Amino acid sequence: MRITEIFHSLQGEGPDTGRPTTFVRTAGCNLRCVWCDTPYSFGEGTAMSVAEVIMKVRTYDSSYVCLTGGEPLIQEESLELTKELSRLGFSVLVMTGGSIDVSPYLSIPNVRISLDVKCPSSTMDKRTRVENIPLLRKQDVAKFVIQDRKDYEFAKSFLKEHPIASEIVFQPTWGSDSSRLADWVLKDALGVRVMLQQHKFIWGGAPGK
C-alpha cells in the first residue's frame, strides 16, 4: 500500500481528542476539498506492505490507531490492514471523506468510523455517499466541517433529512470564527458537538503531528 507517513501523536479531532494515538496516513485521495489541510498526502507516498506498516505501528506504545489520509478507503490493502490491527488487539479509528462504501469495515471488531459529510464550501458536497449514513452506529462519528453560514444551514438540513445514530461533530474550518459556529449551535439547540482541531493549536498543523 502507499503510505504518506506513520507517526505517534495526540488525536486532534472528534470525541477521541487528546488521546495518544498512532496515525497511519495513506497516500492519495479521490476528493479535492478546497480547505484540505493535508494536501501533502495527495502524492504517491512510499510503498509498504501491510506487514511493514504493522511493524512500524508496533514500535509505538499505543493501543489506538487512526487510519487516515488522504482517503484510506481507496487503498486496496486498507481493509486487510484494519482486520490485522483488530486481530492484534488495536482499537482502530478509520477516518474517511465519506464518498466510498464503509460497510466492509463495520463487521471488524474494535473498529470505528469517522465519516465526513461534505458541506458546500468544500466543493465536494455532491460526492457524499448518502448510503453510508444509515450504516453509522452509536460508536461512530459523522463530521461536518463548517466554514460559513451556508455550510451550517446545509448541515442542519442534512440532519433533518438523514437521521444519524452516531455522534455528530460540527468542526469549524481552520482559521474561521469558531465562536460564531458555537453561537449558532447553541441558539438552535442542535444535538451536536462543536469541536476544534486541537493538534493545530499545539503544533500548527505540521506534518507528523
At 109, which CATH number?
3.20.20.70
Evaluate whether residue 155 is within a structural domain.
yes
pLDDT at 207: 83
Evaluate whether residue 156 is within a structural domain.
yes
Evaluate whether residue 172 is within a structural domain.
yes
Residue 99 and residue 118: Cα distance in Å, rounded? 9
What letters, b where the CB count within 10 A reaches 16 and e where it falls short, cover 139-150? ebbbbbbbbbee
- Listing from the earlier edge strand, what are the strands of the sheet with 91-96? 46-47, 2-10, 20-26, 64-68, 91-96, 111-116, 141-146, 167-172, 193-194
Bridge-based pairing state of the strands 111-116 and 141-146: parallel
pLDDT at 188: 97
Evaluate whether residue 58 is within a structural domain.
yes
Evaluate whether residue 208 is within a structural domain.
no
Question: How many folded domains does the chain comprise?
Answer: 1
Virtual torsion, Cα 183, 129, 133, 186, nearest 10 deg: 0
Evaluate whether residue 167 is within a structural domain.
yes
pLDDT at 103: 98
Evaluate whether residue 93 is within a structural domain.
yes
Residue 195 belongs to what domain range? Answer: 2-203
Evaluate whether residue 209 is within a structural domain.
no
How far is CA 105 from its chain centroid? Answer: 14
Per-residue pLDDT of the chain (209 residues), as tens digits, is 999 999 999 999 999 999 999 999 999 999 999 999 899 999 999 999 999 999 999 999 999 999 999 999 999 999 999 999 999 999 999 999 999 999 999 999 999 999 999 999 999 999 999 999 999 999 999 999 999 999 999 999 999 999 999 999 999 999 899 999 999 999 999 999 999 999 888 888 788 88
Residue pair 116/129 in contact by the 8 Å Cβ criterion:
no
Residue 93 and residue 59: Cα distance in Å, rounded? 19
pLDDT at 35: 94
Residue 152 and residue 63: Cα distance in Å, rounded? 35
pLDDT at 204: 84
Closest CA to 131 of 160, 159, 168, 102: 102
